[in-house]
Every structure is written in C-alpha cells, then in structure tokens.
Structure 1
Amino acid sequence: MALWKPDPSFYPSAKMAMQAPPERHAYVAALNHGRNDKPDAICVVDLDVVSPTYGQLVYTLELPNVGDELHHFSWNACSSALCPQAPHPHLERRYLIVPGMRSSRLYIIDTRPDPRAPKITKVIEPEDVMARSGYSRPHTIHCGPDAIYISALGSANGDDGPGGIFLMDHFSFEVIGPWEIHRGDQQLAYDFWWHLAEDVLISSEWAKPGQFEDGLVPADLLGNQYGHRIHFWDLRRRKLLQSVDIGAQHQMLLELRPAHDPRKNYGFAGVVVSTEDLSASIWMWHQQDGDWRMRKVIEIPAVEADPDQLPPLLKDFGAVPPLVTDIDLSLDDRFLYVSCWGLGELHQYDVSDPLVPKLTGKVQIGGIINKTPHPQSAGPLLGGPQMVEISRDGKRVYFTNSLYSTWDDQFYPERMGGWMVKVDVHQDGGMALDPDFFIDFGETRVHQVRLEGGDSSTDSFCYPS
C-alpha cells in the first residue's frame, strides 16, 4: 500500500527550508494592459545553472482573456500545511493561484507533470468571485494551513464597501466566502501575513479601486487619503483586535514581512512615500505590554533632481522619491531587501537586530533619473527594482521592474518594457548584480516572481529553527 507523505518541498522550519535544493524554474507574471489584442501570461524562466537554457525564457502560457492585470500570485499549498492545526498535511505544492487584479478573475494553473509547460486547469469568473466572496480586485495569495487566503482591494460593488480577505478551498478551488467576522472600522486593504503560532493576522492598506486603477490620484495623495494604518486580527476568531495609525503623512503602508521563526513576534512593513518630504520608510511591528506597536527603523530620503528630467507628476517637487514598493526578508531573518523603484536601487539591510538595521549592500539599475543599464541590456532601462524574491538558501535574489500598469506610465512615461535580473548575495552581507543574467521581455511588463519549491515570501513555518 502506498504511503501518504507530505510534499517534499514542505519544511517544518525555515532553517530546514534553507537546506532545500536550489530552484530550477521561476514563474513570472507577464502583463499586457493597454494592448487590446494581447492577454497577460505566466512565463517560465530556466534557473537551473547546468541547463543549456539557463537564464532564458523557456515557455509562455498565454491566458484566454485580455485585461486581467495579473498581480501577486502564489502556490495553493506550502509549509504551513505541516502546522499542528493544519487539517490538510498531504496537500501538494502543485497549483499556482493567479489573480487578475483588474478583471477580478482567478486562474488555477497546474505546474505538473511538466513544470516547464504549466497549463490552466480552472478559471473562476469575476461574477462568481464577487458573488461568493463579496469582494473584487483580488490582490495577494497566501497558502494557509486551513485554506487558501486571498486579499481583495474592493467590494463587489467596487468602492462602495471595504476591501478584505476571502477564502478558497484547497482541493476544489471553490471560493468559500469572506474571512472577516468582526472587522471594526477597517476599510482599506492590501497585503496580509500572520504569526500562526500566536493566532494573529496582520493586514495593511493601499486604497480603494478608484484611487489606483486609473493611476495615482495626486489630490488624494497630497490630502493623505491613501492607507496609513496596520491592523492586527485574532486569526482564529476572525476579529479585529487593534489598529495602529503610523501618521497620515506616511502614505501607502503596503508590503508586510513577518519574521519566519515562529518564536519571534515582529515583522517589517514598507511605506511608499511621506507627503512631508517624499522620503520612504520601513517600520517594525512588535508587541509591548500586551499591545502592538509600530516603530520606524529605516528612512530613505528623496533625491533632488532637475525638474526637466522628471515626469509631469514630479516636476513641481524637484526631487525623486525612493518609492519603496516591495520588501523581502531572508529565511534566516537576517537580511531585509528593499526596492526603491523610483531611485532604481535595491538595498540590503542586516536586521539581525530588528530595531537597528544596518545597510550592508546596494545595487543600482533603472531609476527615474539615471535609467542605469544592465551589462546585457541594449541601453538605459526604464523602471527599477520592484517585485523581489529571495531563494530559500538566501544566496540569490531575483527582481522585476513593473509596479502597476497605470502607475508605470505616470512615473516612467516613456513606456517601459519588462525585464528581470538576478543579484548574488555574499555570505556576510553585500551583494552584486549578476552581469550575465538579464531577461528582456520586450513590450510585455513583468511583476511577481515565484520560485519552484517555494521562496522567502511564500511559506509559513510553525516550528522553530
């Protein structure tokens, strides 16, 4: 009789996951918004260093619809399935759950039997997503121990109601329904993560659909109308426990990265821009005297620039904001990577002491002013470090350059294309751009990267390292 075993890519602890085999493939969200005859796609990039096609785009799965605007997709299952409370320990990391943020459509994509040629196995149409969840504009996917969790930025009627989280069944991929029972005054949504051992879920804020779909709304930004709160929930009771406002000037509190070790109850949040001085910042959440607190631990200033070199949106400011649009934390909780999409810089910080981060590395590529080329690019590059993904062993970092189609066009009006690069990480800190790894996607823009077998922002671990 065959034994029922957990997926070999699941690991009880982050330390064990760091010993996993190197990734052989990356799955990349490819976007074609505004090109009426061109659908989005999931692209496969070869990352196997012994392969004759290493560092090349080897497959493109075109989707059947135009205008989806793919965003933060992820796996159906991950290491959280090994948590003590998990009812599904024998799930497989096999399917990619891919949200169309603009269309509110969901795709289920099977990566087997051939991981280099994934195929669509199910499509959940927008009307079904909205009818069963009460939400629209699905954004982020996380594989939880009991279900697939999906954040959504709008209500079924768009701006009329709050954004939030809904659940999907691990096996049937049917939408189960909204997650929240007692949401308090939470309205805006974006990212979410958790401390599973503490039964705590954390969520962040971006905006309502009317504030992002057609581009950044300057009046709303200057009026501090974008998100600036972080929310802490009782994960089991699905109840809002506490909200922390970091100050209305700190606009767009977006990406969340909790510590991977379940004994640690802190994490990092990225803030895109301050309306006081155009700086960006990183905040740490932690518990003190039974309450959740937020503390700014990194500030990245804006850089003065000739208005003639700036896009119309920034001319009156005479400066380039860093625009921190993504962060990622290595599995050993040591290095935090910060995308400065406006400056064209990727920063590496040693956060061994999370209260006192130390800048240990920086690479420059793209950027609003510099447009720094890659050694393999044909010339200056538009966009900058945006979606960041770290290999499980922490030795490699991959990133792409597109934020969101209409925002891309505001900050890089020359009409950017898509590219993906790789950074090699030094053992004790520091990093360098791989001069030979550069993938040009042409007019197609690229966003989220997912690595075969998992990466540093997919899995949750319930056992200490």
Structure 2
Amino acid sequence: MTNPTDPTFYRSPAEAAAAPPERLAYVVAFDRAGERPDALTVVDVDRSSDGYGQVIGWADLPTRGDELHHFGWNACSSALLHAGHDHGDDGLQRRYLLLPGLRSSNVHVYDTQPDPTAPQLVKTITAQELADKAGYSRPHTLHCGPDGIFLSCLGGANGQDGPGGIALLDHNTFDVLRAWETDRGPQYLAYDAWWHLTQNTAVTSEWGTPSMIEDGVDPELLLGNRYGHTLHFWDLEKGVHQQAVDLGPEHQMVLELRPAHDPEASHGFVGVVVSTADLSASVWRWYRDGTGWAVEKVITIPAEPADPADLPPALAPFGAVPPLVTDINLSVDDRMLYVSCFGTGELKQYDVSDPAHPREAGSVRLGGIVGRAAHPAEPDLPLAGGPQMVEVSRDGRRVYMTNSLYGSWDDQFYPDGVGAWMAEIDADPAGGLTVDPEFFPHGDAFRGLRVHQVRLQGGDASSDSYCYR
C-alpha cells in the first residue's frame, strides 16, 4: 500500500497559487552573543485567528552559538520529478525543517508534525559529519531538490577557508551523502544555489569565505573588489561546472538567486549588495543565450545622500547610505520581484512581466540606517534594521519580512542595535504595497533574539521548484 502524495507538492505554479493560504510562519531567531540557544519560532499568520501576528510556538536549540540564518524544508514540489516518477508514493512529505548553524556548522532537523506549532528536534547533523562526508563547513542556504537536499556552504572542512560549495543530503534520513560538485572548475567562493530543473542547469552565486564575512564587512576586501562578483552555471545532474559569468569586480557580493518558477522559462534574477563605484545596489537578469548563459543589469538602486554625523563609522566617510540589497524574492506567478534594501529601509516591488525591463510598482519603508521609519502599529517607535529577509505567499498577496542581516554586519551598520521585528505587507496584484497595521511581532515577542529567515506552512515563493505547467 502506498502513501498519497503530499498535498503541498504542487505540480505547477498555478496550482500552488490556488492552494489554501498559509496559516503559520516559521521564523528562525538567534542570540548574537551566543550565550542563549537560538530558536525556531512559530508565528500565527491566519487573519481569522485571535492569535494573528503573535508568536505561538517556540523550540530552543540544544546548543549555543549556532547563529541560525537560512533554513528550509526537507522536500517540496520538486520531488515530483524524482527519478522520473511520483516520489510522493514512497511517503516523502514536506514535514521536516533543517536549520543550518552558520557559525557552528551543525544542522538541526525539526519535525513539524503532528503539532505544527510545536516542532520537535529529531536529529542533529554535526559539523564533523559535514566535514568528513562532504568536505565543507559553514552551511548557509538549503533547497529541497528532486533527488535530495542541496546545502550550500561557505567554507571548507577542518578549518580551511574554502573552497565553498554544496553538500548533498538524503531527504529521508538527512545523512550527508557527498559533495555535489564533481568538477568545480574555477568556482571557489559560494553563497546561494538553485536551478532550472527541466533544463538540467544549476546556478550558484558568491559571497565570501568565512574569514571574509564573520567579523563584518572588511573595508580593505570590499574596496579591493575581493568579495564575490560571478555567477556559475552547472550541469545539474553531473555536478560539472560549465560556465562562469563575471558581473564586473565592482559589483560586490552576488547573493540571492531567484529563477523563474515557470519550468519552461530560462531566466532568473540575482541581487548585488553594493557597487564600489558609487555605493549603488543592483539586480541582474540571467538568461539563455544560444548554447550558453548571459547576464545583464536590469535594476539599479542608487545610494541616498546623508549627513555623515547620522551615519555609522563604516559609512560616515562616504556621506551616503547604500541601499544594501541583501534579499530578493520572485512571486510564484513570476510577475512581481521584491527587493529588500537593508541600508535605506525600503522594500521595493517591481513588475517583471517583461523580465528585461522591470518597472517599479510599489514601495514601503520600515527602519533604515538614517530614516528609522516606524511601523503603523507603533508610529512613535523608530525602527532599527531594515527589510532584510523577504518571503512571498504562494498567491502573491502577502509579503513577510524580518530585519536582521547577519550578527556582525548588523552591528556594523546599526551599532546601536537592530532589535527584532517582523512585518507583513499586503501586495496589490496590480501593483502597490501596504503595511498591515495588525501584524507586528517585535521586541519581547522574540525574547531578545534577532530574527532572520521566514518559511511558510505549505511552501512559499522561495521554497519550491515546479516540474510541470
């Protein structure tokens, strides 16, 4: 007797968008000092609930000093492509959340069943297992693939600074299987990884090695254009490097990858944190060009002039606030792209129906290095931090965001502290953004921890890859 396919494995983007809306959001929270356990929190996002906008579940990690950052599901819609058959028949479910510790290199696995508001720890993948079996450390980003879990890592094993790369994990047992790459070519720096499933193409991006990032932005490395500035394209099945495209050395820190959800599309978007030429940030489009891949800049967001007296020491000499694009997210229908500007405190919405010519369609401000824009729920409370991790509901009508980037980088750009807050933004399908005044978990709600990535119950815009139209 076989088990039915998980109902949250959607065959197509349209099917995902038409599914019932999320009721819960999972949010990781970390202790900057490393003295208390980090936590997996559960937030009520059901507007019909009396607990809407409240933290209703909490699971402490068994360790300290992990610095939870990005995390994800063990399985998702891409499993429908597994081995050419319906993988749901062997009981695979979107059930477990894997939480990598960016500083500890441990990965904690939590079961969200039977009570989704009370996740339970079921396994810890140790730093030693990750090093011994895959040769990596500092796990950063996790994506559920058709044949396993892809875990991108910034560092090498046993204290080596690099190269970074991808560890392949079993999505049933969570065992570390091996390094995914069989021929990495010139790739050395790592960050995000994603793919075009039906085209057998993987894409990876670049940030820096652990020593380049863990103590904050290194001005010498930044001005020397030493952080990552290249996209890499791979044979997904074989793990073989095929092409590197350099965006230009001044385009520092090529981070979040958002491929089109349409399985027949051959384009995607990637955000660049900062240009050393003018402190602007940018978004680039990659696309199929003949037998290879090409990349072009499609969005530029300029720095905003500011009084040096209002700026942190790292920025005062420049007299400007860089946007610092640290996350982007593409709606499931591939129509709207959301760009978070951690420096200026702005979340931008772009209509990318024509991927080569994005059009700004909406904007809201919360926090910001200089602006400190308040939330409508507490208009007299200036906010620190800014839109950072951004997640979009499957139907594209709700955008969730949190305000912490990475502990040491938070401290550099917001030396008086970032606090902790989460907001929900209503997105108009025709364009336009409005902050929901009823949703504002912050401060004590997260028990003094900082909040980072959000995952939505049943999947979200950056969880899933779809196999069919």
TM-score by length of 2: 0.97
Q: State, as a whole percentage, how many aligned pairs show the same letter.
A: 57
Question: Which of 425, 428, 442 in structure 1 is aligned with 2:427?
Answer: 425
User: Any conservation in 2 of the 1:86–1:145 contact (CA below 8 Å)?
Assistant: no
CA distance in 2, matches of 1:161, 1:404: 20
Question: Which of 414, 417, 420 in structure 2 is aligned with 1:415?
Answer: 417
CA distance in 1, matches of 2:389, 2:159: 26
- Give 1:64's aligned amino acid: P
Question: Which of 425, 449, 459 in structure 2 is aligned with 1:454?
Answer: 459
User: Any conservation in 1 of the 2:34–2:67 contact (CA below 8 Å)?
Assistant: no
- Distance of aligned partners of 1:20 and 1:186 in 2 relative to their CA distance in 1, 3 Å threshold: same
Question: Which of 428, 440, 445 in structure 1 is aligned with 2:450?
Answer: 445
Q: What are the equivalent positions in structure 2 for 1:214-233 lying under 5 Å apart?
A: 214-233=215-234
- Partner of residue 74, structure 1: 72
Q: What are the equivalent positions in structure 2 for 1:174-193 lying under 5 Å apart?
A: 174-193=175-194
User: Deviation string for 1:410-431 (max 9, x for gaps)?
Assistant: 0000012110000001121111
Q: Which runs of 4+ in 1 moved over 2 A?
A: 84-90, 157-161
What's the CA shift for 1:444?
Answer: 1.3
- Give 1:267's aligned amino acid: G
- Give 1:337's aligned amino acid: Y
- Distance of aligned partners of 1:151 and 1:291 in 2 relative to their CA distance in 1, 3 Å threshold: same
Instruction: Say if 2:138 is the partner of 1:140.
Output: no
Instruction: Say if 2:403 is the partner of 1:405.
Output: no
- Partner of residue 31, structure 1: 30
Match of 2:317, SS state, is helix
Instruction: Say if 2:367 is the partner of 1:353.
Output: no
Match of 1:197, SS state, is helix
- Partner of residue 16, structure 2: 17
Q: What are the equivalent positions in structure 2 for 1:370-409 lying under 5 Å apart?
A: 370-377=371-378, 379-409=381-411
- Partner of residue 150, structure 1: 151
Q: Where does structure 1 lack aligned partners over 5 or more consecutive residues? A: none
CA distance in 2, matches of 1:35, 1:80: 35
CA distance in 2, matches of 1:110, 1:62: 13
Moved more, 256-265 or 377-386: 377-386
User: Any conservation in 1 of the 2:162–2:189 contact (CA below 8 Å)?
Assistant: no
- Partner of residue 56, structure 2: 58
Match of 1:85, SS state, is helix
User: Any conservation in 1 of the 2:328–2:337 contact (CA below 8 Å)?
Assistant: yes
CA distance in 2, matches of 1:204, 1:305: 31
What's the CA shift for 1:83?
Answer: 1.6
CA distance in 1, matches of 2:411, 2:162: 28
CA RMSD of aligned residues (A): 1.1
What's the CA shift for 1:441?
Answer: 3.6
CA distance in 1, matches of 2:159, 2:370: 35
- Give 1:374's aligned amino acid: H
User: Deviation string for 1:57-92 (max 9, x for gaps)?
Assistant: 011111111100011100000000112635633410
CA distance in 2, matches of 1:157, 1:384: 35
CA distance in 2, matches of 1:213, 1:221: 14
- Partner of residue 101, structure 1: 102
User: Deviation string for 1:217-242 (max 9, x for gaps)?
Assistant: 11000000000000000011110000
CA distance in 1, matches of 2:4, 2:387: 39
What's the CA shift for 1:124?
Answer: 1.4
CA distance in 2, matches of 1:327, 1:158: 31
User: Any conservation in 1 of the 2:28–2:39 contact (CA below 8 Å)?
Assistant: yes
- Give 2:211's aligned amino acid: G
User: Any conservation in 2 of the 1:190–1:204 contact (CA below 8 Å)?
Assistant: yes
CA distance in 1, matches of 2:241, 2:296: 21
CA distance in 2, matches of 1:355, 1:375: 35
- Partner of residue 83, structure 2: 85
User: Any conservation in 1 of the 2:72–2:142 contact (CA below 8 Å)?
Assistant: yes
Question: Which of 34, 41, 44 in structure 1 is aligned with 2:42?
Answer: 44
CA distance in 1, matches of 2:242, 2:443: 44
CA distance in 2, matches of 1:398, 1:390: 6
CA distance in 2, matches of 1:160, 1:3: 45
Instruction: Say if 2:327 is the partner of 1:326.
Output: yes
What's the CA shift for 1:157?
Answer: 3.2
CA distance in 1, matches of 2:290, 2:3: 44
- Partner of residue 289, structure 1: 290
- Give 2:416's aligned amino acid: E
User: Any conservation in 2 of the 1:344–1:371 contact (CA below 8 Å)?
Assistant: yes
User: Any conservation in 2 of the 1:158–1:209 contact (CA below 8 Å)?
Assistant: no
